[in-house]
Amino acid sequence: MQQLLAWFDGEEHARNMPWRKPWIDPNARSAKRARHAEDDGPSMHARLKVRAYQVWISEIMLQQTRVETVRDYWNRWMERWPTIEALASATRDDVLSAWRGLGYYSRATRIHQAAQSVVHHPTLQGMLPAHVEDLQKMVPGVGRYTAGAISSIVFGHAVPILDGNIARVLSRQTGLYADPKSKATVDLLWDMARLLVEQAAAHANALCGNLPADAAQHNDIPDMEDVCTFCAPFPEQTAIAAPQPKAPPKKKMKQTTLFGAAPPSQPEQQASHAAQQTLEYVRQFPLKVAKQASPIEPRLVCIVRASPPPDGPPGEDRFWVEQRPDKGLLAGLWEFPMQLLLDGAQTNLLDTARGYIQHRLPPPWPSTETPIGVVASNAHAQGTVRHVFSHLVWDLQVVLLDASTAFDPSIEVHHNVERHGAWLTAAEVESATMGTGMRRCWSLITTDGACHT
């Protein structure tokens, strides 16, 4: 155990994860262990509140995102909102903007809503709960894994965590050959993880003695590091064994052959072959389940550009954007007008685009004539962007349309009654909070020089 903890401390330092900080013992009572008492700085309660907030943000950011990517985002986030109260008082647009590039924007929305809920809760008052059950019940968007991470890392409770990495190593250790996504298997793996953590916590001092005060916190984290480093999902990334104590150097033997280094002896060949067979067998766990292909939706994206009127004052081109609903996929993000392409619509893409925006948008420039609507004078296909979600694929066919206003007393102008929208300059579009797919659509016209300021 001591060797494992020592190895973990070295790996922790080498991987440079800023959210990994010295443990704050919430049960510290002696003057020596409570040297950061109120007269010397923030109270224990205040320090635990910030620590829990930091760990919570890191765990949400790390969901389906690599450590290397998260590191800079986490640092910028903490510089901007160092406390949960600061985050709760931020605007939704600011939070989504800070999340830009991490993907899965619903995570940012849930974090913001949960921070507001925790801060305004009459009992919590900004302090995340210490126990798994309370975290899941009282903090919106926190599931069993995140709750376990916060409870163990921050408050030192011996509780399990389980994700794909842990599930893989437990399956290989126990020979569990079952669908890792099925409910029965997941429940069993959670029980395995719980038993391991509880037994480690109960017997650690008896087995190893003199464990550090934060041993309970270490119960989960070394397992994760062990899994990520030594039990990767792909064969070429898998090592045969965890780190071992260094053995004394063997005496070097001088031996040469006609072709260079001597071939391995027969026992060595047999041992190597047996090890390879074992490794190949281990790689079969857990059961590999064929993933169903995600449905593909062809969609039309209309980037509508309006240039200043020739008889008006000079100005910049403007582009129409709309804000998605507060709930659902890509909630609250901005996008260009988009619609699902039905059968046959793809063959007449430009006509479909013209018809989609016809008299649908409000005029980009003030006008004394009413009613007035926007029509497309020109339409140009820009290309296709494929945007992949976890459960869905969008094939976005991008069309750039030049807009002009038209006066027609017989038309009924709807002016985009379904969603909130706005005409933005190119610079404003750049700073708007858009999803990755829509941002790539925008890059098609900026790369080609079709965007003029």
User: Is the separation of the CB atoms in 382 and 396 below 8 Å?
Assistant: no
User: How far apart (Å, rounded) are the C-alpha atoms in residues 199 and 196?
Assistant: 5
Q: What are the residues whose beta carbons fall under 8 Å from the beta carbon of 291, sequence distance 6 or more?
A: none
Among residues 282, 381, 393, the alpha carbon closest in space to that of 329 is found at 393
User: How far apart (Å, rounded) are the C-alpha atoms in residues 115 and 126?
Assistant: 8
User: Is the separation of the CB atoms in 25 and 156 below 8 Å?
Assistant: yes
Amino acid at 3: Q
| Phi, psi dihedrals of residue 380, rounded to the nearest 5° | -135, 125
- Annotated catalytic residue, options 11, 12, 38, 59: 59
User: How far apart (Å, rounded) are the C-alpha atoms in residues 209 and 227?
Assistant: 25
Computed on alpha carbons and rounded to an integer, the radius of gyration of the chain in Å comes to 29
- Give residue for tokens 């790369």: 447
User: How far apart (Å, rounded) are the C-alpha atoms in residues 322 and 334?
Assistant: 5
CA dihedral 423, 426, 428, 429 (to 10 degrees): 80
Other CB atoms within 10 Å distance of the CB of residue 66: 8
The one-character DSSP state at 260 is: B
CA torsion sign for 374, 376, 380, 381 is positive
CA dist list (Å): 103 to 32, 60, 75, 390, 397: 44, 12, 17, 11, 21
Instruction: Compute the half-sphere exposure of residue 88: CA atoms within 13 Å on the CB side of its CA.
Output: 15
Does the active-site annotation cover 418? no
CA dist list (Å): 122 to 117, 129, 132, 138: 10, 13, 19, 12
User: Is the separation of the CB atoms in 318 and 423 below 8 Å?
Assistant: yes
Paired with 385 in beta bridges are 396
Amino acid at 301: V
Element (H, E) at 423: strand 421-425
* Tokens coding 61: 């950011």
| Residue positions annotated with a catalytic role | 59
